[in-house]
Structure 1
Amino acid sequence: MTSKPLILDVDGTFLRTDMLLETFWSAMGCAPIQALKLVVTHFTDRAQLKSKLAELADCRVDLMPVDKNVAELAAQAAAQGHEVILASASDTSLVSALARHHGLSDRIFASDGMKNLKGEAKAEALVAAFGTRGFHYAGNEAVDMAVWKDADDVIMVQDHPAERANLAADGHAVTVLPGGWSWASLLKAMRPHQYVKNVLLLLPIIAAHNFGLSALLPVLLAMVSFSAAASCIYLVNDLLDIDADRMHPTKCRRPFASGALPIKVGMAAMFALAVIALGVAASLNMAFLAVVSVYMILSLAYSLKLKRMRWVDIATLASLYTLRVVAGAAAAEVYVTGYMLVFIFPVFVTLGCVKRLTELTLATSDERLPGRGYGRPDRSDLLNVAGLGMFGALLVFFLYTFTDQARSLYPTQWLLWVAMLPIGGWLFRMVSLGYKGKQDYDPIVFAMRDRHGISLILFTLTLMFYAAGLFQNAFGF
């Protein structure tokens, strides 16, 4: 390289993210209605859209993930006396803050609310400032070809073979740095391990002792729909929580927070998953479609607002789990009793408290959790609410044993009373482990991996099946 300045594109080059999309999701978290209005009003005027979103959003440019290879290249260039300048189509307020934070040149090139500095517009600005081939340029997209052809040395983040060949033929020295994303990162962001929660859809047919294919197959399809819906919402949640995740000791490794997965890829996947979820739901029946729709709307409300509200967040989590049970009944078209729902809800209130207890116990300070309404001093209140949830669930279960339906389905009533012991033991174990910080951040996922807890659940089911006479009918004893 000569003494010519090194110009760095920002989105996808210096940063492993996109500032426009970062500001959109940050604005959605702060003021969703205003953010959507801005998109509709200024969609065709990108410079204005970027400026307005930057004003509305509360973006932390200091947390945005930097491409290590590009950062090293910039450090080497600076050490050799080259001026390192950011040139981006993102808004000037964000690019200036980014340059200051990383100690780069105060001179920047960026969109200013009037002109969108992308492609040819960026090339014109750089040529006007430094002349043709008077600068080196690092970019990552084919649209950067407009700038590359006027630059001297060219740096590509992710290979573009056709552009690279054309530039080399024109006498440019081209350096290719690794970039791009992987399907594994997208799969990780979708959190398929969370699909285990959808076993809750099987509860209604188990409770109704309906094990035929006519009931099982619709429920399996329903689980596909709920899995797609859940992944869609997980993507939304991670995008809304991107700054909070970057400040978290383990969540900072999530694909969006770390920059391993581009936001635009996540948004495309989000749309596709929503279509799959609602399409499969519609193929079953309208009742199930309604439940899935309510689940997605409530989940979206939770991600946007409710998760930041003390106690409301736990009630919402319990409602979302309970909706899975309702969904299973709707898919299989079996009756679900009010007692089951009233029993399930406090169980999930308890598990919601366990989730927060685990997060607070593993927290490194007494400050409120990022994006949540709790701090470590709230652990005792959460423990009390978890205890009330345990008591409420066991009381409802006990009262259910005296109903006509229970007597009809479970002739050996006293075994139901015995089953309350492992149920209570399992709940106590979950609360105790959460309070001690010995759990996963998601109690349901933890429960499905906990051998001792699974033993208690299987023992409970064995007692209930025996009380129902299912073992006697199946095996003759």
Structure 2
Amino acid sequence: MTEVKPLVLDVDGTFLKTDMLFETFWDGLGRDPVATLGVLARNFRRPERLKAELAAIAPLRTDLLPVNPEIADLALRSRMAGREVVLASASDRVLVERLAADYGLSEEVFASDGEVNLKGPAKAEALVAAYGERGFDYAGDAAVDMPVWERAENALVVGRVPSARALIARGRNVVELPGGWSPAALFRALRPHHWVKNLLLLLAMIVSLSFDLATLVPILWGVVAFSAAASSIYVVNDLLDLEADRLHPTKCRRPFASGEVPIAIGMAASAALGLLALGMAAAINGAFFGVVVLYMALSLAYSLKLKRMRWVDVATLAALYTIRVIAGAAAGAVAVSIYALIFVFPMFITLGCVKRLTELTLASNNERLPGRGYGRPDRGDLLNVAGLGTVGALLVFFLFSISEQGRMLYPATWVLWLAMLPMAIWLVRMVMLGWVGKQDYDPIVFAMRDRFGIGILMITLGLMFQAAGLWGKWFGA
């Protein structure tokens, strides 16, 4: 009877649709950024030690890591047929053993151990020592697996590996399996639907009534720069939130959490977009460049720490929205009343509370949200703060209307007061939609798609233009 040879599976990119080294790095950054960066600096040229120390800082939940469905199905069918299925990886042994246990695979694993980086030729030698020359089949996904494929009986190639064609040319048995990633999934990871939030840069132009091309054009370029900066940070935020997203009912489908896009690709895209944003900002003017740097620094602090702190996260979200208004003023070189800036902050406090209210309303239990400081019992407090934010925004708007700049820009003060009514209706409606769970997870994105709400905002804007006398100036009415 012919002995059945074991099926040996690479882990990163083969059995898993992710890489455990990058997973531990980003999980470690979220848990203890100082220690993680210290480990990286000390062991940058010693990958075996780097992997071991990162695994100690970030004990991954290997059961949540996204698996390649084709390989997982192959492993299951092989086990049911009585075949031994073994994991062999350059990742740290502790994590590989845990992953094998999660999926009922062989207790015998081959992995890096803090002393040896089990990759390429080292992995090939270990497998030949255990099973003999051509005593196993091996599945891998990269050119670094070539030394192992050359010494295996059958080569299972996941995704496109051009160098694996050499095996076919030599008459070896090669089985090609689906894998890889798509640019469309990467584009989705940049959250292009969130770019509409950067239209807030136009608010400075609208409030100051500076309707000319010399103001509009640099602001529009600023919108593009802010979109690049925001997408750069969105990628970082998603990489820091991998475990929390995988525990979320809808965020688990995000490209990095689901394994649709490799973490390394996301890191490269984030760096490129960040550099693009800074370059464009510097080309617009120095003030705008400073605002973009502030936005990116505060966004990074939010992703690393602040979003996990109760109330601080809501205040930070409001600050990030307010910075967009300041950025519009800087890009267009327009003077904006301090009242206008103070007004938008409590308004965005309200919308920040709406964001959390929506998440809690749609939560399936009373436990704290993964990676956040709130649970469903906090809904009442969030509602109260949202109410205070609404009142505060309306009060500041009223003070603006009677200020010297307000009376100069909007002579018909009573019409400006009238505009407060639809403004209040819009804010209260947003809060109530969040309370009953009929909001999007991001209220600004929801507002840009909400036709009824857009109608209310247009009425508000129309009344403000009437107070400024613009309708008569434009149309002679």
**Structure 2 residue aligned with 1:289:** 289
Q: C-alpha distance in 2, partners of 1:58/1:242?
A: 13
CA contact (8 A) 2:368 2:376 kept: yes
Query: When the two structures are superposed, what TM-score results if normalisation uses the length of structure 2?
Result: 0.99
For 2:59, give the aligned amino acid: D
1:207 deviates by 1.2
Is 1:395 aligned with 2:395?
yes
* Aligned residue runs from structure 1 range 320-335, under 5 A: 320-335=320-335
- The residue correspondences of 1:273-288 to structure 2 (distance < 5 A) are 273-288=273-288
Q: Secondary structure at the match of 1:106?
A: coil
Range with bigger deviation, 124-133 or 47-56: 124-133
1:445 counterpart residue number:
445
User: For each residue in 1:379-402, what CA deviation from the matched residue of structure 2 results, as whole angstroms up to 9, or x when unmatched?
Assistant: 000000000000000011111111
Q: Which amino acid aligns with 1:38?
A: V
Deviation for aligned residue 1:59: 1.1
CA distance in 1, matches of 2:7, 2:138: 6
Q: Match of 2:415?
A: 415
Give ranges in structure 2 of 5+ residues lacking alignment: none
Q: Say yes or no: does 1:382 pair with 2:382.
A: yes
3-state DSSP of counterpart to 1:176: strand
Q: Which residue of 2 aligns with 1:344?
A: 344
Q: How does 1:34-433 map onto structure 2 within 5 Å?
A: 34-164=35-165, 166-433=166-433
Q: State the AA in 2 paired with 1:143.
A: V
Tell me the distance in 2 between the aligned counterparts of 1:398 and 1:58.
53
Contact 2:143-2:163 within 8 A present in 1 as well: no
Structure 1, residues 126-181: CA drift from partner, whole Å, max 9, x if none? 111111111000000011111000000111111324423x2123332111111000
Deviations 1:450-472 (A, max 9, x none): 11100000000000001101110
Q: 1-side partners of 2:221 and 2:451: how far apart? A: 28
Residues 382-391 or 199-208, more deviating: 199-208
Q: Indicate the percent of aligned positions where both proteins have the same amino acid.
A: 62
Displacement after TM superposition at 1:287 (Å): 0.8
Q: Which residue of 2 aligns with 1:470?
A: 470
Q: Assess if the C-alpha contact under 8 Å between 2:30 and 2:304 holds in 1.
A: yes
| Letter matched to residue 110 of structure 1 | A
Of residues 420-429 and 398-407 in structure 1, the stretch that sits farther from structure 2 once superposed is 398-407
Cα-to-partner distance string for 1:333-359 (whole Å, 9 max, x where unaligned): 111111011100000000000000000
* Distance in 2, Cα, partners of 1:168 & 1:277: 45
Q: CA deviation at 1:258?
A: 0.4
Give the Cα–Cα distance (whole angstroms) in 1 for the partners of residues 231 and 391 of structure 2.
33
Counterpart of 1:237, as a letter, is N
Q: Counterpart of 2:369 in 1: which secondary structure?
A: coil
Q: Which amino acid aligns with 2:44?
A: F
Q: Secondary structure at the match of 1:320?
A: helix
Q: Equivalent residue of 1:473, what SS?
A: helix
**Native 8 Å contact 2:157 2:164 kept in 1:** no
Q: Give the partner amino acid of 2:313.
A: D
| Residue 443 to residue 205, structure 1, CA distance change in 2 (3 Å) | same
Cα offset, 1:209, TM superposition:
1.1
The whole-number CA distance in structure 2 between the counterparts of 1:383 and 1:205 is 32
The question of whether the paired residues in 1 share the 8 Å contact of 2:419 and 2:460 is answered with: yes
**Amino acid of the structure 1 residue aligned with 2:467:** A
User: Per-residue deviation at 1:4?
Assistant: 0.4
Aligned residue for 1:16, secondary structure, equals: coil
Amino acid at match of 1:473: K
Deviation >6 Å, runs of 4+: none
Q: CA–CA distance in 2 between the matches of 1:170 and 1:109?
A: 28
Shift of the alpha carbon at 1:58? 3.0
**1:39-65 alpha-carbon deviations (Å, 9 max, x no partner):** 111000000000000001131101000
CA RMSD of aligned residues (A): 0.9
Letter in 2 for 1:36: L
- The offset of 1:306, in angstroms, is 0.4
Residue of structure 2 equivalent to 1:457 = 457
Aligned to 1:370, the other structure's residue is in SS state: coil
- C-alpha separation between the residues in 2 aligned to 1:99 and 1:211? 63
Unaligned runs of at least 5 residues, structure 1: none
**Equivalent residue pairs, number:** 476
1:10 corresponding residue in structure 2: 11
1:137 aligned counterpart, secondary structure: strand
User: Amino acid of the residue matched to residue 456 of structure 1?
Assistant: I
Task: Say which SS state the counterpart of residue 368 (structure 1) adopts.
Answer: coil
User: Which amino acid in 2 is paired with 1:53?
Assistant: L
1:2 to partner: Cα distance: 6.0
Counterpart CA distance in 2 for 1:386 and 1:80 is 59
> Equivalents in 2 of 1:412, 1:334: separation in Å?
22
Is the contact made by 2:358 and 2:434 (CA closer than 8 Å) also made in structure 1? Answer: yes
Letter in 1 for 2:42: T
The residue type equivalent to 2:374 in the other structure is Y
Q: SS state of the match for residue 347, structure 1?
A: helix
